[in-house]
Amino acid sequence: MNKMERVKEILRDLFNKYLMEMTWLTILFLLSSYIAISWVGLTITQEYELTKNVQQFLYYIITTGSTVGYGDLSPLTDNGKLLTAFFIIPCGISLFALVLGKMAVGFSEFWFIKRKGKHKVKIKGHIIIIGINLERTPYLLSMLKREEKGRREIIVVSKEFTESPFEPDIHFINVNSFTDIEEMNRSNLTEASAVIVDTDSDDSTLTLSLFIAEQNSKAHLVASFNDSVKAELLHKYCPNSECIRSLSTELLAKSVMDKGSSLVHSELVSAHKGHTQYSIKIPEFMADVEFELIYISLKKYYQATAIAIQKQNREMILNPNLSYVVTSETIIYYIADERINDIDWSLISR
C-alpha cells in the first residue's frame, strides 16, 4: 500500500468515525453557523439580490450546496463570487453530504436493528407468539392474520433465530432469554392482549407461562403441551390460562372408531375455508335465557350452530340441554362460515 492510499484510508476511517459519533445537535449548530456566516458575507459583499428575502437566500444556499445550481441566481460582485467559490460552495457541499450521510447511517442502523429484532415495539393490545417452529408457526401466523384482519398486530419472539423468517408485517423480537424481564419488555409484554407459548419443551413452556402470567395477568395465555400433567399444573396455578394438548393419539383412536373424525376436527380448527368454530361472549346487559332460544336464533338469523357454552372459570359444557339457562358473560361456541361480529342480541332476547 503506497502513501497516498494509506492517507485515503486514514481519512476515510476518520470520516466514518466522526460521522458516527457526530450528533444531530452538532450538525444543527454547523448548519446554523454556515447559514449565518453566508448571510452576513453576502450582505457585506452587497449581494442584495441573493439576500433580499429569506426565501430567496435559502433557495440559493440549498441549490448551491446540493450542487444543483440552476443558474437563475448567482453572485454579481467580485467579492461575492470569491465568497461563494471559497466558502459557500465547499462548505455547503460538505454539510449537504454530512446530513445525507448521517441520515443514511441512521436508516441503516434502524433497518439492521429491526431486522435483527433488537428494537423495542410500542404497540398495545397485540398478540405475542413465543417460540418459532418452522412447521407450525407459519401456518399459525396465516390463520391469525386471516382471523384478525389487521385488528391486532402480531409479534414473534425467538431465541434461536437472529433474523426474522417471516413477512415484514410480522414484528420480530430476538432475545437471549425468554424469562429476562428487560429483554421481553421489548415486545411490550405487559400491554399484550394475548400470548401464545409454543416451545419444544414442556418444562420450558411451563416455566415461561408462569413468568408471563406474573408479568401480565390480564393477557389471554395459551400454552401448548404434550404432557397433560404439566398442562393441568399450569391451569391450577393460572386458572385463566388455556392449555392445548396434542390430540394426535385421541384422533387416531377416534378415526378408527368413526371414520373421517380427523377430517371433522381439521375443518373445525381450520380458518382457511368452510365452516369453522368461533366463540362470542354474551354481553352483561342480556337477561337470562334458555339455550334453546340462542340455538334457534343463531341458526335462523346467522346460519350458525351453537355447540357448547362455558361460564367464567367453569368447565366446558358440550351440547347442553335446550332448557339450560344461559346467563350474561357466558361464552357461546358456535360453527359458522365466518365470525359473527355484530350479533343483534335483541333477536335472541325475544
The CATH number for 56's domain is: 1.10.287.70
User: What is the pLDDT, as a whole number, of residue 159?
Assistant: 92
Total number of domains constituting the chain? 3
Burial class (CB in 10 A: 0-12, 13-18, 19+), 17: exposed
Could you write out the DSSP letters of every residue in 124-152? -S-EEEES--TTTHHHHHHHHHHHHTTSS
User: What is the pLDDT, as a whole number, of residue 209?
Assistant: 92
Report residue 264 as a C-alpha cell: 371433522
Collapsed DSSP state (helix, strand, coil) of residue 308 = strand
Give the CA diameter of the chain: 101
Q: What is the sign, positive or negative, of the torsion defined by CA atoms of 308, 311, 312, 316?
A: negative
| 79-126: pLDDT as tens digits | 888 988 899 888 888 888 888 877 877 777 777 787 788 889 999 999
User: What is the pLDDT, as a whole number, of residue 329?
Assistant: 87
User: What is the pLDDT, as a whole number, of residue 344?
Assistant: 87
- Give the domain range for residue 27: 3-115
Same domain for 329 and 274, yes or no, is: yes
Rounded CA gap, 339 and 350, in Å?
23
Last residue of a domain, one of 77, 95, 115: 115
The reply to whether 121 falls in a domain is no
Same domain for 86 and 55, yes or no, is: yes
Same domain for 136 and 66, yes or no, is: no
Number of alpha helices (DSSP H) and beta strands (DSSP E) in the chain:
14, 12
User: What is the pLDDT, as a whole number, of residue 208?
Assistant: 93
Amino acid letter for position 220? H
Sequence-distant (6+) residues with CB within 8 A of 156 are 128, 129, 132, 137, 141, 164, 166, 170, 171, 172, 173
User: Per DSSP, what are the bridge partners of residue 332?
Assistant: 280, 309
The reply to whether 122 falls in a domain is no
Which residues of the chain fall below pLDDT 70? 1-3, 7-8, 11-22, 246-257, 262, 270-274, 313, 349-350
Write down the residue that cell numbers 408479568 correspond to: 215
Of the candidates 254, 299, 240, 308, the residue with the CA atom closest to the CA atom of residue 277: 308
- Report the 10 Å Cβ neighbour count for 236: 9
User: What is the pLDDT, as a whole number, of residue 206?
Assistant: 92
Same domain for 138 and 239, yes or no, is: yes
Structure letter (DSSP) for residue 239: T
| 324-333: pLDDT as tens digits | 999 888 999 9
Distance set, CA 172 to CA 2, 37, 188, 281 (Å)? 46, 47, 12, 31
- Report the 10 Å Cβ neighbour count for 109: 11
Same domain for 261 and 170, yes or no, is: no
Same domain for 26 and 134, yes or no, is: no
Last residue of a domain, one of 211, 246, 281: 246
CB contact at 8 A, 195 and 130 = yes
User: What is the pLDDT, as a whole number, of residue 258?
Assistant: 76
Same domain for 240 and 259, yes or no, is: no
User: What is the pLDDT, as a whole number, of residue 60?
Assistant: 87
User: What is the pLDDT, as a whole number, of residue 271?
Assistant: 60
User: What is the pLDDT, as a whole number, of residue 21?
Assistant: 59
Rounded CA gap, 85 and 4, in Å?
27
Same domain for 87 and 133, yes or no, is: no
Same domain for 236 and 326, yes or no, is: no
